[in-house]
Structure 1
């Protein structure tokens, strides 16, 4: 039988929940998630020693943080960039501290080195990239015509194989292909210009290196402060979760920086000296950036590079060389570099990787492409933890039944 006090609590909680839901529904036109979330947290705070209430608090806080991030991306942008840089550089700072450097001095050295690399990249690469972008813009009409000619030359064989009427298809293609290709390249150039503008904004924001220094200097203190938000009984578990998440997210991000740099440099060199096509530097940088998007980035970069090959009078041999360059670079990256750097820390199936990238990109745009894979890996980690706990509880129940 259920105790009378428990019945009263259940009835009271149900009434409060109904009244609260009715209030939120009636005031939905003037309320935002912040006051609603704070109101729910205030109500839930009165429930003590209830696991469901604790999980509900975490879920509400998570929803509020995500909502505020989406609504105020411009404000959070320098803090997110600074925290990400500090997070990536933290293991190097720990290494320097172990070799008798003070944490503040190690942080200054790393921030200055990073800023120096950015400035050096700007002086060495940005003028070439700007020149190649301008050349690509001037070459767009010729490239569109070359692609259209090659398509129309090889189209009859494909149409005959597919048993499609050639005359009507050519008419529709002639009407839509030039505009479609022009729109494709215009969107690509807009993206490239926005990336250039994005890098220029980072270089001009003084606050990011300053924030990075302070966050990197006090990174361990920030971690301890976060742990202090939890009770002593829960801190070991939270510390373990942080360690596992750090292995997944930190390992993935740091590895991707190294891998994308390698892919960008090697692809650019291969396109310049082996394939000998135009815009090799621009396409190398693009290949490195797109490599951050698993699977999808590779195919997008390969298709864009293949389209540029049509500027050559005989594009067949450049296309073969491009495929060889991409195959060699991706083969070395996949067989040698990635297993040694990333290992099995992410442990996601390729289908799960592609789904996570598309899913998070839908809701978070560019940042979703960056955080999609590690976020999905973290979710899978918590699912595995839940399954492990369920298996442990079932084993305990089975042993309890056997002892009776």
Structure 2
């Protein structure tokens, strides 16, 4: 009977996973709402301790978030747009420098006949064909505007769903707890509390690390004299949740932009110094302070988790990949402890090897 119940649970979990996979295109606002509720539930709970109702507290939190978002847009978006335009202009300037400086050196030393201007002319001649391919690809991706409408609907639904999730968060947790088997309630509640500690600490800590990296790189690159320092710095910081990705992209963009801006090699050393200081601060200060050892995933496992999350659930799958991995780490740790405590493991450890090594005579 117990064995059949276990297989029933396994079948139910597999069915649930398959349904989530099928419903992935419409789950984005719900995942985002859950993340909002999870992140800001402690703040709303603290407001309830001050005799503020949960509905009022949730409204205040969303009003505060909206106000911060509006202020950030008004303060940062003009500068970011201006720097983004400058960054786009870097590409033709880079092609011109390559044509006048690097290509002649390659042709002279390797006996080749490269001509970037010819490549540019060919690209212009085939621009109409390229545009047609892009248009066809866009129709495939968006399906006559359905994808765009769905994306806009998701963006509008996120705050609505997040509000209801945040308001009713304790009630939902209590209902889930009420569905647990009475004999297993303490065990599952303990696992949930440990997962909450690991995931909550990691999620909030990783967001803090990303913001700290973005601010550090932006300030450093701006002081180094890079006109697009804010855009490149924040991009590198927001991508730093994937090991090495933020640094690789940030350094590459900053080196190219700085060389195009100045035309000299010495300022590139300042760019490398900024990222060196930023990486040191991340390793010595930000990660130990905000994240610590809360998740314990190997960098390769982190990269796999992010790629798998993106392939299954898109952008928010990328964001949720590491928190979900943190929960899986906790569950895997307990499963491994149970395995090592099982009779099967102990019996296997006491079983002699099939082929005993010969004894020395």
Q: Same fold (TM over 0.5)?
A: yes
2:292 to 343, 347, 352: 343
CA deviation vs aligned residue, 1:342-382 (integer Å, no higher than 9, x gap): 11111112232233333433444433432333333333333
1:278 to 206, 224, 227: 227
1:109 and 1:63 map into 2 onto residues whose CA distance is: 38
- Does residue 1:329 correspond to 2:282, yes or no? no
Aligned to 1:369: 318
2:89 and 2:173 map into 1 onto residues whose CA distance is: 52
- Does residue 1:85 correspond to 2:39, yes or no? no
- Matched length: 323
Gaps in structure 2 of 5+ consecutive residues: 128-147, 351-361
Question: For the Cα contact (< 8 Å) 2:84–2:231, is it kept in 1?
Answer: yes
1:171 to 111, 114, 121: 114
TM-score norm. by structure 2 comes to: 0.77
Say which SS state the counterpart of residue 182 (structure 2) adopts: coil
386-395 or 261-270: which moved more?
Answer: 386-395
Question: For the Cα contact (< 8 Å) 2:28–2:154, is it kept in 1?
Answer: no
Question: For the Cα contact (< 8 Å) 1:268–1:281, is it kept in 2?
Answer: yes
1:323 and 1:302 map into 2 onto residues whose CA distance is: 7
Aligned to 1:306: 255
1:297 and 1:214 map into 2 onto residues whose CA distance is: 34
1:317 and 1:126 map into 2 onto residues whose CA distance is: 31
1:95 and 1:52 map into 2 onto residues whose CA distance is: 42
TM-aligned CA distance change 1:222 to 1:150, over 3 Å: farther
TM-aligned CA distance change 1:316 to 1:131, over 3 Å: same
Say which SS state the counterpart of residue 230 (structure 2) adopts: helix
TM-aligned CA distance change 1:237 to 1:148, over 3 Å: farther
Say which SS state the counterpart of residue 293 (structure 2) adopts: coil
What does 1:174-189 align with in structure 2 at a 5 Å threshold?
Answer: none
CA deviation vs aligned residue, 1:156-194 (integer Å, no higher than 9, x gap): 99xx8xxxxx124x63988779999xx9xxxxxxxxxxx
1:58 to 5, 9, 13: 13
Higher relative contact order (CA 8 A, sep 6+): 2
Give 1:125 deviation, angstroms.
Answer: 0.9
1:229 to 162, 179, 193: 179
2:194 to 244, 255, 268: 244
Give 1:255 deviation, angstroms.
Answer: 1.3
Say which SS state the counterpart of residue 346 (structure 1) adopts: coil
TM-score norm. by structure 1 comes to: 0.70
1:314 and 1:242 map into 2 onto residues whose CA distance is: 56
Question: For the Cα contact (< 8 Å) 2:209–2:286, is it kept in 1?
Answer: yes
TM-aligned CA distance change 1:365 to 1:100, over 3 Å: same
Gaps in structure 1 of 5+ consecutive residues: 1-5, 7-46, 161-165, 184-197
1:233 and 1:147 map into 2 onto residues whose CA distance is: 71
- Does residue 1:391 correspond to 2:340, yes or no? yes
2:313 and 2:78 map into 1 onto residues whose CA distance is: 31
Question: For the Cα contact (< 8 Å) 1:87–1:216, is it kept in 2?
Answer: yes
Say which SS state the counterpart of residue 50 (structure 1) adopts: helix
Question: For the Cα contact (< 8 Å) 2:201–2:291, is it kept in 1?
Answer: yes
Question: For the Cα contact (< 8 Å) 1:148–1:177, is it kept in 2?
Answer: no
Aligned to 1:258: 208
TM-aligned CA distance change 1:205 to 1:277, over 3 Å: same
- Does residue 1:120 correspond to 2:71, yes or no? yes
Say which SS state the counterpart of residue 61 (structure 1) adopts: helix
Question: For the Cα contact (< 8 Å) 1:147–1:307, is it kept in 2?
Answer: no
1:145 to 88, 93, 96: 96
CA-atom RMSD in angstroms: 3.4
TM-aligned CA distance change 1:92 to 1:171, over 3 Å: same
Question: For the Cα contact (< 8 Å) 1:147–1:310, is it kept in 2?
Answer: no
Aligned to 1:380: 329
Aligned to 1:24: none
